[in-house]
Every structure is written in structure tokens, then in C-alpha cells.
Structure 1
Amino acid sequence: MDNSNAKQWDNDHFLHPWEGMEALGENDRTFIEGASGIHLINEKGERLIDGPGGMWCTQIGYGRAEMAEAMAEQARNLAYFSPFNNTNSTAAHFAREIAKRAPGDLNNVFFTTGGSTAVDTAIRFVHFRNNLVGRPEKKKIISRQKAYHGSTYLAASVSGKERDRLWLDKADDLAHFLPNVNPLYRTPGQSDENFLNEKVADLENAIVALGPENVAAFIAEPVLASGGVIVPPIGYHARCLNICRKYDVLYISDEVVTAFGRLGHWFASEAVFGIQPDIITCAKGMTSGYAPMGAAIISDRLIADVAGKDATFSNGYTYSGHPVSAAAGLKNIEIIEREKILEHVREVGPVFQDQLQQLRQIDIVADARGMGLMGCVQCSVDGDPRSELGRDYEIGSRIDMECQKRGLLVRPVINMCVLSPPLIISKSEIEHMFAILREGLEATSEWLGKISDR
């Protein structure tokens, strides 16, 4: 196939996610045309370490022939079925395998097309249940600043990344946002314990102010991923769950990023943070990015409240339980377990975090934080996290450029650099990845110094 005009076609016809209108039709994006293991291959044939792991999702790495075969075999046998009127053994099997690994009584898997629709489904189910149990006014969703839960209308409405909310409408009456839970911004001299108490009090105060009879759910990522890999203070989730139980508020744990191994466990809610939520949303790693899929996993307790009612949960998608995606999900689980990838993440995670912390030595690095195989480097002109953002987008773009020419793709998020590589990454590959990132950060620091002197 002749791809000589691909750049022009991309600019003329491919409207990308988060497309900046100022450069519409004039972008010079990198074309990714191949991949193997932890590496991507661009249009020039150059191999690049996939630092972001796609979009947090390429757990088992690229080029898995057995994954392609499993998907192809399913497509040959049955490429599609209508989930509205029929069912399919592959989808049923995948639902069972997810339920076996989910914590507690989260045994009811509603398949979606991705993370955004998983969050939409969770919110719609919460509202549906409250309507059926005679509490139609109990609809408010409490979320947090810097949270990202998706880009469909409901999911975007409960997302708290300020700059994502500037130009699109949202359901303003649906969500209430709690202040930033990033320990980096605690009051000078404030102890970790006092900060934790403050953040938990934020939730309880919000429920009381809004009225417990009006608040349906609290939605929280265990680690705020796209908001900059923000790790709340230790004990935060468990105490927030207790507050939710006190006021009969449901707890939705958004594990679109953290589930399927990113923190070394199938699900992080219970295994890492000690909570059993009412609903878990997941996507991304459930197929390692080989096929689109998501899910809202709902507890038996909530299902019992609506079972037997004369009502229809009229929410669903053409591709719910898609058999090829389900086949990819089953093979993904098989590979992760056979190769002990969860155990591997727990082994190499400390190496990743140690390498991440060493970047604090660089002048422009204001913070370095993360868990498992998730990390974020936050930069500023003077290395102070409380400084007003200056040249913020330029810093992120420059780090991206400096790293890419050295063989590493990163994900620039304004003045932050986010990393979440494929879970199969080795210790030596982690060290190599961070060596390149260090060079990119140092080159960016030098560049900032030069332009500041002008």
C-alpha cells in the first residue's frame, strides 16, 4: 500500500482526540507503523521505547502472535453477536474470569466499549437503582480536582481536569468536585496526618453540605492517572469508603488505568488500597490494547436491589461483549498468569520508582511521584512546584522532542511527563528508559536556561 501521502491524509481527514484547533491541518505527528515487545517503530524504521504504554494499556507488550491468532480464530468462527437479544460463550467466559479476580461480591460484569462508556454505565446504573428503590433525588456524584474519568458526556461531567473543561459543555448539576488530594500541595508545615484528615473531611463536608439524600456516589481513581499520577495520602481510600458507608453513598473505584496489572495486581482497590468498592470500572489493560473493551463491575448487593423489579436498565452498546475483544481478554489473562507478569511488576516496580526519584536531582524537576509501573515527572522553570506555570506546554513538548530523538516516547501533559510502560519491561530496560529521560530533561533544562538569558 502506498503511504507516501499519509501525512496529508492525516491532516486532511483524521480528526484526532484532543485536537488543537490552532494547528489544525498543519500537524507533523510521528507515524507509528509497527511494534514489538516494549518498542514502537516509526515511519522511518526507528525503534522507540513506548514510555506511556500506549494509553496506559499495553500490558503484555506488542507483537504477540498468540494474541493475534486467538482474535483471528474467534473472528473466523464468530465476529459479532447482538448482545441485546443473544449471548456468546466467549463473552460469558470472559465475564466469569473477570468476576473471579474482582474483589468481594463484584460478580456482575457489564461490558462496554472502553473506559468512558464504563464510567457512563456505572453512573447510569447508580441512578437507575436509586430510581427503583424510591430515591429519585439521590443523584449527585462527588469527584475530585485533577480526576479524569472519560470524554463521553457523563464521564466528562465528573472529570476534574480544569483545562479539559474549558470549551465543551457538561452536566454542571451532576458533579461536585473536592479539592486537590496531591500531598505536594499541602500547607507548608502541615503533617501528612493532618493533610489526610483534611482530605477525608473534604468528602464528609461535601456530603453534609449537599445533603446525603442527594448524593448518590463518590467516584475516585485509586491513583489519579491522567491528572499527573497523583497518589493520595496513605489510608485515604479506606477512610473515604467509611465515610461513604456512613451516609449511604456508593463508592465507584475507577480502575480503568490501575486494573489488570499496572500496580502488580488484577485490581488495585482491595489488594493495594484495602477497599471493596460497590462498582469498579476498567478498560485499557483488560485486552492489553489489542482490541477496544471496557467494563463496569457491579456488586451483588446492588444487583439484588433491582433484581425482580418491573424495569429495564436501558443502557448498552452495539459492541458490548464483542466476541473478538472477549477472546483477546481471555488470552490476555492467560498470558499474564502463565508468564507471572503480576509478580514481575511487583519485582521491578521498586526499580522503576527508585529510578524515578533520582530525577529529582535535575534543576527543572519539581516533583517525581508514582506507584508500581506508573510515574510522573513534574517540571517548572525554577523547579518549584508552587511556581506559576511558565512555558508549561513548551516544557512538556520540549521534553517529548528531546526524548524521542534519543529513542523514547513519553506522554507530555502540559508541564508533566507521564510514564506507564508495558508491564513486561525488564530491570535493564527500565534503567535504559530512565537514562534517556534524564538526558531529555537535562537538555530541556539547558534549553530553558538559554532562552531565559535572552
Structure 2
Amino acid sequence: MTLTEHDTAASGLPEAGWGNLWPHFTRLGGRSTPVITRGEGTYIWDDRGRKVLDGLSGLFVVQAGHGRREVAEAMARQAADLAYFPVWGYATPPVVQLAERLAAAAPGDINRVFFTTGGGEAVESAWKVAKQYFKLTGRPLKHKVISRAIAYHGTPQGALAITGLPAMKQQFEPLTPGGFRVPNTNIYRAPEHGDDPVAFGLWAANRIEEAILFEGPETVAAVVLEPVQNSGGCFTPPPGYFQRVREICDKYDVLLVSDEVICAFGRHGTTFACEKFGYVPDIITCAKGMSSGYAPIGAMLTTDRVAEPFLRDKVMFPHGYTFGGHPVAAAAALANLDIFETEGLNRRVLDNEGAFGDTMRTLLDLPIVGDVRGDGYFWAVELVKDKDTKESFTTEERERLIRGFLPKALFDNGLYCRPDDRGDPVVQVAPPLISGQAEFDEIERILRHTLTEATSLF
């Protein structure tokens, strides 16, 4: 279901205000909402007993599937031994073990792990560490961050300033100053080079250099990019794009931050997606799939070079979170990563991503489907009013389609996924990594039926 201002499907919750609950990214004045009571494997059930395929892994989170008792048991054991202790000058065994495991899986010399409780906090931490890094190394003016249009990087004031979605920011302005935008890699609506992915990738990457030069290299601290951009609908990187971005960042001494809150932990078939797309960043931000959602945990990982100034005498990074590096959450993450290894989930995604993509692309025969794009287990279907001209829907039509019809219709038809129009209207799917062809076929069947119904709205 859409997570951008939506009316919700019917359920047993009160019609007016849902009692005491204030849901996230949801219209309080909307209809009542489903109550999800349990999950098993790739499916969830609501309080009416309806069985629904979880085509979004909760929120790009439940990589190993629902109902993994081995994870719950690991959490219970840790809670019995030590339920909580902070990492403010102390450590616990699961946090140390998890840091070692993440560093071992990260590319290059990314060896330092700073734990948070979620992705927005990880992005916030990355910007703060970049600012302090340049102050410690004698370049105090470097504080600005460049990100892409329509990209979402979180809701804290700093992370929101990096986010490239004006409508999400207007109610909270003024924000932290210093965020600047460049074009994204939506080749379906490319301004030029649309028929040449390599040329388009070079064009898009060079806009980053242009922005750095315009703002002044002495003022730019970081470039923050998702390997595959979520908001807007799964914008994949053109060939050579990240290699050129890495060159640009090195040339102007700008830190490259790979925001992998969604893309890490197998979503694209590798622990960290930057490895799949052939670049080594200076900082990685991650969360979501680290524990498959069994406990809230995120992290910022840095290279030895970024960490070095903080190792100096009497230097401290004055930043942290009460529940960052929570021992029970770390135990959940360790158990989750054990499942990745024993069941070969990364390999499973790489082996099946072609079949998933082929299955999704069969939807291109529908008149309402303009584009199907994605990578790994992360795909989007862009919806259009006119397939030949790529004409999109009006504001009123989007309201009717994305918020009024699709969320309830998809759920009623047996699929939980994400209609979204923060960019052009799309439906996104990202099932648990334990999914296979049976789940791909079910996703395609329900999408086909529901989108065929949607054409009658116009």
C-alpha cells in the first residue's frame, strides 16, 4: 500500500481517528485501516483472516521472511542474558560480533561501524561525521551535501534536507541548510541520451561535478546516492555511472555516501549493493534488512580514512542514540545473517532476479503500463495515461488511482505492495528474498488483474 498520504482499506479499527494510534505517512481522516495480525514465510494475515502475499517485505525489510523462530529465539536468549546496555563507551558481545561481521562483508577498507536504530538516523550520522571529518582535517568550510532529485533519504531534519522531495519538506521548513540536488537516473524520462544508457549515465554523473564546481569544491562535503533509487520507482544506475561519480568525488575530495537502507542485505543479491554495481564508497548507510525487521537496527559504516581523525587524542564524535547498538537487536541481526549464509539468500536473488524481471515485464502489454524497471528483488511498474506519448496522470487522476483505488484493490485481491507517486505514478514490489517463481507469478497475476481494473477509471 502507498506510504504517501493515503486512504486505507477496511478493517476493524475505529472509523474516526483509529482510536489512539497515529499512523505514519497516513491521513488521519481516512477510512479505517487493516490490522495485520501475523506473518509466515512470504504471507501476512489480517484480523479478518485474509491471507495476503507480502510483496514489499513489510517495507523493504523482511528479507528472510516472516515467522523465523530462530531469530526470535536468539533475541529471547540475549534478552535473558542482557536486555539492554548502551554503547556509549561500552560494548556488548553481540554488538562487537555484528560490527566485525559487517566490516568483513563491506568492500575496500570500510572497517568502522556506528550503530543507529534506523535508516534516517544512519543518514543523519553520515552527514554529521562528514562535517566533523573535514573540520578535523583542516577544511572546515566543507559541509554541503549533493543528492538526487526525488530521492528519499529519511525524515530527521538533516536527512530530510538531503531528501529530494519538496512536498515532503514544505511543512517542516526551514530545514538544515546545505542540501543540493542533481538529476536522477530515470532513463525512461531521460532529457537526453535516452536511447544510449552509457551516454546518459555519463551525462547524469557529470551533473554532480557541475554542482560541486558551482557550489565550490571547498564547501562540498559529501554526495549521497542510493545504488538503486527508491523514490520515483527503482531507478537503476546506467553502466559506468558510479565509476564516474567515484572519479568526481576523488577529484574534489568529496565523500561518497552509498545510502543502502533499502538496497543492502541481499535486495540486489549482495550484502552491500555497491559491490554489485562496482564502486567502493567512503560511507555506507544501512538498516531495514539487517535484522529482517525482527528488531530495529541501522548503521553507518566508514572507511579507515574517514575514521582516522577520530582516533586522535581527545577527539570524540559527539553523537549517538540511546538504543543504537541495542544488544537484542544485534542478536537478531546476527541470527538473520546466519540465515543468509545457511540458506544462500544472496545467491538465491542472483539466480532468480532474471526470472523475476522477465515475469514483471510481461505487464508491459497492458495499456496503463509505461515502463517496468528494477534489479534484484526490487522492481517498479510505472503507470501512464498514454503509452505512446508517456503522458502521466493529472493531480486529480493520481488521487483517484494511487490513493483512492489501488491500495484497497491490491490488498483485497491478495497483494500488499506500494502504489506511490512521489515522482511519476508507480507500483513497487520487493518480496522477501525467500520468494521464487510461484511468488513472482502470483504478484504478476494480481497486478495484471488490478491494473486492468484500474484502466476503467479513465
> TM-score scaled by structure 1?
0.93
Aligned residue for 2:72, secondary structure, equals helix
1:3-44 CA-to-partner distances (Å, cap 9, x unmatched) read x97436962321111133xxx244311111111000010111
Match of 1:215 among 186, 195, 220: 220
The AA in structure 1 aligned to 2:264 is: A
- Counterpart for residue 242 of structure 2: 237
Match of 2:376 in 1: 372
Residue 189 and residue 154 in structure 1: after superposition, are their counterparts in 2 closer, same or farther (change >3 A)? Answer: closer
- How much does 1:181 deviate? 2.0
Of residues 427, 431, 439 in structure 2, which corresponds to 1:417?
427
Contact 1:153–1:170 (8 Å) recurs in 2 = no
Of 23, 26, 40, the residue aligned with 1:19 is 26
Secondary structure of 2:302's match? strand
**CA 1:189–1:298 in 2, change beyond 3 Å: closer, same or farther?**
closer
Gaps of 5+ in 1: none
Deviations 1:352-390 (A, max 9, x none): 111111111101111111000000011122235742432
CA distance in 2, matches of 1:295, 1:11: 33
Residue 113 of structure 2 contacts residue 299 of structure 2 at CA under 8 Å; is this kept in 1?
A: yes
Displacement of 1:46 in angstroms is 0.9
Q: State the Cα distance separating 1:393 from its structure 2 match.
A: 3.0
Inter-CA distance 367–163: structure 2 relative to 1 (3 Å threshold): farther
| 1:33 and 2:43 matched | no
1:284-323 matches, within 5 Å, as 284-323=288-327
- In 2, the alpha carbon distance for the partners of 1:385 and 1:98 equals 46
Match of 1:148 in 2: 152
- Equivalences for residues 301-450 of structure 1 within 5 A: 301-383=305-387, 386-390=390-394, 391-397=397-403, 398-414=405-421, 415-445=425-455, 447-448=456-457
2:111 alignment partner, SS class: strand
Structure 2 counterpart of 1:70: 74
1:265 aligns with 2:270: yes
Quote the residue 1:100 is aligned against. Answer: 104
The equivalent residue for 1:79 is 83
Q: Secondary structure at the match of 1:35?
A: strand
Tell me the distance in 2 between the aligned counterparts of 1:304 and 1:86: 20
Tell me, what secondary structure is at the counterpart of 1:166?
helix
| Alignment coverage as a number of residue pairs | 441
Match of 2:14 in 1: 7
Secondary structure, counterpart of 2:24 in structure 1: coil
Q: Which amino acid aligns with 1:203?
A: I
Cα deviation for residue 186 of structure 1 reads 1.7
3-state SS of paired residue (1:72): helix
| TM superposition score normalised by structure 2 | 0.93
What SS does structure 1 have at the residue aligned with 2:19? Answer: helix
Q: What is the letter of the counterpart of residue 399 of structure 2?
A: Y
Distance in structure 1 (CA, Å) of the matches to 2:431 and 2:30: 29
| Paired letter, 2:427 | C
- Cα distance in 2 for residues equivalent to 1:300 and 1:384: 51
Residue of structure 1 in register with 2:7 after alignment: none
Could you tell me how far 1:168 is from its partner in structure 2?
A: 2.1
Q: Which position in structure 1 is the counterpart of 2:141?
A: 137
Aligned to 2:206: 201
The 3 A distance-change label for structure 1 pair 384 and 117 is farther
Q: 1:251 — aligned with what?
A: 256
Q: Tell me what 2:181 maps to.
A: 177
Deviation (angstroms), 1:172: 5.8
Between 382-391 and 57-66, report the one with greater CA deviation. 382-391
Retained in 1: the 8 A contact 2:148–2:182?
yes
User: How big is the shift at 1:57?
Assistant: 0.6
- Residue identity matched to 2:410: C
256-265 or 399-408: bigger deviation: 399-408
Over 3 Å counting, the alpha-carbon distance change for 1:8 and 1:323 in structure 2 is: farther
Does the 8 Å CA contact 2:232/2:426 hold for their aligned counterparts?
no
* SS state at 1:13 partner: coil
Judged with a 3 Å threshold, the aligned counterparts in structure 2 of structure 1 residues 215 and 189 are, in CA distance, closer, same or farther, namely closer
Describe the shift of the 1:10–1:350 C-alpha distance in structure 2 as closer, same or farther (beyond 3 A): farther
SS in 1 for 2:145: strand
Superimposed CA distance per residue, residues 108-147 of structure 1 (whole angstroms, 9 cap, x where no aligned partner)? 0000010000000111000111111121111010101011
- 400 and 408 in structure 1: CA distance in 2 versus 1, 3 angstrom threshold: same
Q: C-alpha displacement at 1:413, in angstroms? A: 0.6
The aligned residue for residue 187 of structure 1 is: 191
Equivalent residue in structure 2 for 1:126, among 125, 130, 147: 130
Residue identity in the other structure for 2:98: F
User: Is residue 58–residue 289 contact of structure 1 (8 Å, CA) maintained in 2?
Assistant: yes
Does the CA contact (< 8 Å) of 1:148 and 1:225 recur in 2? yes
Could you tell me whether the CA contact under 8 Å between 2:62 and 2:293 is conserved in 1? yes
Contact kept in structure 2, 1:154 and 1:170, CA below 8 Å = no
Cα gap change, 1:98 to 1:15, in 2 (>3 Å): same
d(CA) in 2 for partners of 1:170 and 1:48? 41
1:402-440 CA-to-partner distances (Å, cap 9, x unmatched) read 222221111111221110010001212211221111111
Q: Tell me whether 228-237 or 316-325 shows the greater mean CA deviation.
A: 228-237
Whole-angstrom CA distance in 2 between matches of 1:170 and 1:151: 14
Identity of aligned residues (%): 37
Higher mean C-alpha displacement, 369-378 vs 406-415: 406-415
Cα RMSD of the aligned pairs, angstroms, is 1.7
- Shift of the alpha carbon at 1:75? 0.8
Residue 13 of structure 1 aligns to which amino acid in structure 2?
A: N
- Residues 26, 358 of structure 1: alpha-carbon distance in 2 compared, 3 angstrom cutoff: closer
